[in-house]
Amino acid sequence: MSSNSTIVFFDLETTGLDTSVCHITQLSAVSGERLFNVYTFPPAPSLRAPNGLQASPPILLAAHNAKGFDAPILTRVLLQNHLLQEFQQVVSGFLDTLQLSKWLHPDLPGQSQPFLESQSVVFFDLETTGLGQTCDIVQLAAVSGGHSLNLYVLPRCRMERGAARVTGFRVRRQRLYLHRQVVLTNSLREVLVSFMAFLRMLGRPLVIGHNIRRFDCRVLSRALDELDLRAGFNSSISGCVDTLPLAREVLRDRCLKSFRQESLVKELLGVTYKAHDALEDVRALQALYSVLQPPPELVCRHMFTLETMARKAGVKAAKLKFPARCQYSAPCGST
């Protein structure tokens, strides 16, 4: 935070408490003697501020429980109205006075949790137009506790028949449909920038997903490179963890036939869910991870970054291109 940042205190009133779907009904802000207060009829908020509150950037937005409620809602609405990039040009970040009070007064009632808690985690998943190296992102979803992000992209290439059948996505007349219902879409850049804002809000978390090292992170990495956003993404996270090899190690004594996420959820949680919907997948994975409870040292062993993933892929490609004269193939493990 810059020492000359202008602090603006803000608050929202909404139609509910679900940060992924509720609408803004009132937005108020104050900085010194300058006031700003607007009401909006949901679900179409007008976020372009009149001249009631004009502060020079960089602006730091402060609110009580901003991290848990106001910031996720504001970010989602800005994205839906294509205003996120304009907003980020003048706002340097959020300050949560609830977290600040826990740090300044740790002995107050209800402040038993330390300010610096264990590494935060975000579970993420992609749905794509297919499984090939050139497939496009159609849906990106992420969840961390009660925070969630769910965004759709109109793909540039056609949906493969198998992917359309499994996911329910169809593209007709430049509109994206999910199970025959049209869904709102954003540009790929807007989706990736919003994802990075979501990650930064959670304090450079660990990004966790199932089979992400071999698929999702490769698709994500290609999209980030295409839009020159890789550096921004790398600075937004602490690392990545793939729960597929992690679960194989944690559950190696269970003799499971399959380590597909749906199979693990059914085996360990005793439930089924609507798989191949990215939001449902990450919610299920979050519940699964809480049951797996991998020890920290095991999680560290499975951590990787987009850079280490790319280097390992390069080594494998070199080995395939110049194979050794004699190789031993170990018996295949469980799928």
DSSP 181-196: EE---B-HHHHHHHHH
Shared domain for 92 and 192, answered yes or no, is: no
Whether residue 74 lies inside any domain: the answer is yes
pLDDT on residue 282: 96
Whether residue 335 lies inside any domain: the answer is no
pLDDT on residue 179: 94
Asked if residue 112 has pLDDT above 70, the reply is no
Whether residue 326 lies inside any domain: the answer is no
Shared domain for 20 and 52, answered yes or no, is: yes
Instruction: Please give the helix or strand (H or E) that residue 38 lies within, else none.
Output: strand 34-39
* Residue with more model confidence, 292 or 107: 292
Shared domain for 63 and 19, answered yes or no, is: yes
Report residue 43's pLDDT band, with 50, 70 and 90 as the boundaries.
Answer: low
pLDDT on residue 4: 65
pLDDT on residue 202: 87
Shared domain for 59 and 129, answered yes or no, is: no
Shared domain for 135 and 203, answered yes or no, is: yes
Virtual CA dihedral for 249, 254, 258, 263, nearest 10 degrees?
-100
pLDDT on residue 310: 76
Whether residue 167 lies inside any domain: the answer is no
Report residue 187's pLDDT band, with 50, 70 and 90 as the boundaries.
Answer: very high
For the segment 137-174, what is each residue's pLDDT rounded down to a tens digit? Answer: 999 999 998 889 999 999 999 999 999 999 999 999 99
Asked if residue 119 has pLDDT above 70, the reply is yes
Number of domains within the chain: 2
Asked if residue 79 has pLDDT above 70, the reply is yes
For the segment 212-247, what is each residue's pLDDT rounded down to a tens digit? Answer: 999 999 999 999 999 999 999 999 999 999 999 999
Shared domain for 145 and 235, answered yes or no, is: yes
Number of other CB atoms surrounding residue 331 within 10 Å? 4
Shared domain for 14 and 57, answered yes or no, is: yes
pLDDT on residue 14: 85
The span from the CA of 279 to the CA of 120, in Å, is 19
pLDDT on residue 327: 37
Whether residue 216 lies inside any domain: the answer is yes
pLDDT on residue 118: 57
% of the chain surpassing 90 pLDDT: 52
Mean per-residue pLDDT over the chain, rounded: 81
Whether residue 182 lies inside any domain: the answer is no
Shared domain for 57 and 200, answered yes or no, is: no
Shared domain for 97 and 131, answered yes or no, is: no
Whether residue 320 lies inside any domain: the answer is no
CATH of the domain at 61: 3.30.420.10
pLDDT on residue 49: 43
Pairing between β-strand 147-152 and β-strand 137-144 as defined by DSSP bridges: antiparallel
pLDDT on residue 31: 81
Whether residue 238 lies inside any domain: the answer is yes
Asked if residue 29 has pLDDT above 80, the reply is yes
Shared domain for 126 and 269, answered yes or no, is: yes
pLDDT on residue 153: 96
Shared domain for 140 and 85, answered yes or no, is: no
Is residue 196 within 8 Å of residue 149, measured between CB atoms? no
In 3D space, the residue among 236, 224, 50, 202 whose CA is nearest the CA of residue 119 turns out to be: 202
Pairing between β-strand 59-63 and β-strand 91-96 as defined by DSSP bridges: parallel
pLDDT on residue 206: 95
Range among 66-70, 145-149, 188-192 rated most confident: 188-192
- Contact partners, residue 294, CB within 8 Å, separation at least 6: 246, 250
Report residue 56's pLDDT band, with 50, 70 and 90 as the boundaries.
Answer: low
pLDDT on residue 103: 59
**Average confidence (pLDDT) over 257-280:** 94
The model's pTM: 0.65
Where are the alpha helices (H) located in 168-321, listed in sequence order?
A: 188-201, 217-226, 230-234, 243-250, 261-269, 278-292, 296-301, 306-321
* Residue with more model confidence, 18 or 214: 214
Domain that holds residue 191: 121-154+187-310
Q: 332 — phi, psi (to 5°)?
A: -70, 145
Shared domain for 37 and 95, answered yes or no, is: yes
